[in-house]
Amino acid sequence: MAASLYVKINEIDNVGIALHDIAAGTDVGGGVIAQSDIPQAHKIALADIPKGGNVVRYGVVLGYAKQDTPAGTWINETSLDLPTPPPLDEMEWGTNIVTDLPTPPVTTWEGYAPIEPGGYGGTRNYLGIQTTVQCAAGVVNKAVERIKRDILPKYPNVDGVVAVSHAYGCGVAINATDAYIPKRIIRNIAKHPNFGGEFMLVGLGCEKFSPEMFCEDRPEDNNPDNVIILQDCHGFEDMMDKICAMAETKLKRLNERRRVTLPLSDLLIGAQCGGSDAFSGVASNPSIGYCVDLLVAGGGTAMFSEVTEVRDGVYLLAHRCVDEPTEKKLAAEMRWYDEYLDRGGADRSANPTPGNKKGGLSNIVEKAMGSIAKSGRSPIVEVLSPGERPTKHGLIYAATPASDLCCGPCQLASGMGAELFTTGRGTPYSLAAAPVLKVCSRSEVAAQWPDLIDVNAGPVSSGERTIEEVGTELFLLLLDVVSGRKKSHAEEHGLANDLCVFNPAPIT
């Protein structure tokens, strides 16, 4: 009976997660009577918890009860005091290195061969038109419309044209201490495997992030074959003509690209969550984790991110780091973000959204423990700063903000070919430069959004399906999508969020 009313993750947990709304007075099993109505996905105390006592889920302390909490009580965001974040000094590493990963059913995919030695394959064949500054975005957007309408049909092997516009470039402290972060992200997005090595840049002419600075790491790219300055053009139509002419030259070359059979070692994917609820850590995140383990076991590479959503479980990640330098960089990225939040007068507790709380997540500790589940069990072989490119194959922690809108561009900059995105509440978030697959934690969301959700992990919570079954389904769908045999729902609809580049430096 109890199993049909709530989910309990760890045997030492003293709370359960309501599978559906529980009415006051309901016997949930074990002599526990609901003391009030308890909404779906929210916690019910399974034992008496004294004031100041530990509230335990996932086998870890989420926080301390603010008052005496009898069994059957509804526990929510008002019920807990937040614990101190785990210390970053002297974390143990390498104590949980798992080698018995599941065997992937498929070990190849159809993609575009890596452009750079040691790089990753492309999952799409796009012309990416970069901008130096938001001032150029309106012109580039109109040019992309014209290119898609008048030129792209002549090049059937090209999947599309992407305007890589952002809010950076001017009105910023371009040489501030942290300005290297947005500059690195933008530069690395321009090198994305899906852009086929073709570089095209549109600038205004008076911005701080000049073409010279944009191409600082590859100065040979800053030439008239690649760069158009709008202030050098003679009006709008001249801008359109120059952009379209340059685009056509590059489209001709991109049209020669063909998909080939590649090993999983040429595939890099990202994992992220947004609109999370208390079931995300039960169903959708562990399913992505299993998919990640299949990919890594086959030689592939996966990134997971979101600093504030791993901070409270960082010691668990340290246990999975393969060596001390990896653990030290993990600690350094956490420390940098702690200090960044402190400078802004905030801390990790600012993370949970109203929707997270409505979905049963009481605080950031609970959210973090569920978020980490999407990393599976694989060893962590590398840690990246925001927007860095990976140098190793396997599971990678890529430090980024937890904001969906900033995390995705950071993972794009690192070169991901597709993103696995888990949601409990639902979100239409997507990216233009790489496909995004949505995995939901509740069957209600899949039923409400059947043409936006790609995989429903909801049956995991109710015991109708296993994490392994859903994770394998997702893995096979992922390979179909990155191989171009299928599209994600968001891709079919042409959904794409604006590109929000993480900029911790001052704006002038």
Grade residue 462 by pLDDT with cuts at 50, 70 and 90. Answer: confident
pLDDT in tens, 223-252: 999 999 999 999 999 999 999 999 999 999
pLDDT in tens, 191-219: 999 999 999 999 999 999 999 999 999 99
| Local structure of residue 265 (DSSP, 8 states) | G
CA distances from 19 to 308, 440, 448, 460, 462 (A): 27, 15, 17, 11, 7
CA–CA gap between residue 155 and residue 87 (Å, rounded): 55
CA–CA gap between residue 424 and residue 440 (Å, rounded): 6
Q: Is it the case that residue 3 has pLDDT exceeding 60?
A: no
What is the CA 270 to chain-centroid distance, rounded?
A: 6
Grade residue 1 by pLDDT with cuts at 50, 70 and 90. Answer: very low
| 305 neighbors 387 (Cβ within 8 angstroms) | no
Tell me if residue 182 falls in helix, strand or coil: helix
CA–CA gap between residue 432 and residue 334 (Å, rounded): 29
345: left (phi over 0), alpha (psi -120 to 50) or beta: left
CA–CA gap between residue 279 and residue 246 (Å, rounded): 49
* Residue 3: other Cβ atoms inside 10 A: 12
| 80 neighbors 66 (Cβ within 8 angstroms) | yes
Among 198, 200, 194, CA closest to 165 = 200
pLDDT in tens, 160-185: 999 999 999 999 999 999 999 999 99
The predicted structure's pLDDT at residue 2: 40
The predicted structure's pLDDT at residue 394: 98
pLDDT in tens, 32-69: 999 999 999 999 999 999 999 999 999 999 999 999 99
CA–CA gap between residue 478 and residue 141 (Å, rounded): 30
Dihedral (Cα; 189, 191, 195, 199), 10-degree rounding: 110
The predicted structure's pLDDT at residue 67: 96
The model carries a pTM of 0.95
